[in-house]
Chains A and B, each alone.
Chain A
Amino acid sequence: SQTIHQWPATLVQPVGSPLSLECTVEGTSNPNLYWYRQAAGRGLQLLFYSVGIGQISSEVPQNLSASRPQDRQFILSSKKLLLSDSGFYLCAWSNEPYEQYFGPGTRLTVT
């Protein structure tokens, strides 16, 4: 069966510090991978998606970036965090065009 891992589960970082969140998927090949953010009082906002290694599409211009160094690895990064980057970050994968499967999420608090 397929599983998706995200870490860390919780992170507190000061403004201006760098960020690296990692997501890995097991049990499937060549998945589509997604990064979402759920900010307080808001829904799920798609940040990046990837259909293959090195292929990243950005949905929202911001100070975040994503990379896919391996087929089942998706990394969300920032060089300098802003207060507005606080939120719940979710990685998801899909192999079908219609359903996505989410990881457990990372709670990021920027102080």
Chain B
Amino acid sequence: DQQVKQNSPSLSVQEGRISILNCDYTNSMFDYFLWYKKYPAEGPTFLISISSIKDKNEDGRFTVFLNKSAKHLSLHIVPSQPGDSAVYFCAARDDKIIFGKGTRLHILP
């Protein structure tokens, strides 16, 4: 049973527009949420995180929104750039970090 779900396996966005990556979770005990970015044949790199006591965290072009009542979080990238093309993993933590299956983001020229 997947506790962290990324229902869109892939997403294509025009360069310069906003990319919105979505993630749903089922475990209400998760207290911390993270986004990782992964290029092919490389390990994931930490991107941004949010504590469950907050509803928004922003870092440059990246903003994560958390809706606890809906058990939903999203990552917004604006403006999208070609280097943003990668697989993005949503993750959540209770006593260990649990990852979603990832969403492949394609930034179109």
Q: Do A and B come from one complex?
A: yes
Interface residues of A, Cβ cutoff 8 Å to B: 4, 6, 36, 42-46, 49, 88, 90, 92, 97-105, 107
Interface residues of B in 26-45 (CB under 8 A from A): 32, 34, 36, 41-45
Determine whether B101 belongs to the interface, using a CB cutoff of 8 Å to chain A.
Answer: yes
Count how many chain B residues have C-beta atoms less than 8 Å from C-beta atoms of the other chain.
20
- By a CB distance below 8 angstroms, the chain A residues around B45 are 102
Chain A contact residues: helix, strand, loop or mixed: strand
Total CB contacts across the A-B interface at under 8 A: 49
Interface residues of B, Cβ cutoff 8 Å to A: 6, 32, 34, 36, 41-46, 49, 89, 93, 96-102
Please state if B43 and A105 are interface contacts (CB–CB under 8 Å): yes
Q: A103: which of B41, B43, B97, B98 is its contact (CB, 8 Å)?
A: B43
Please state if A90 and B101 are interface contacts (CB–CB under 8 Å): no
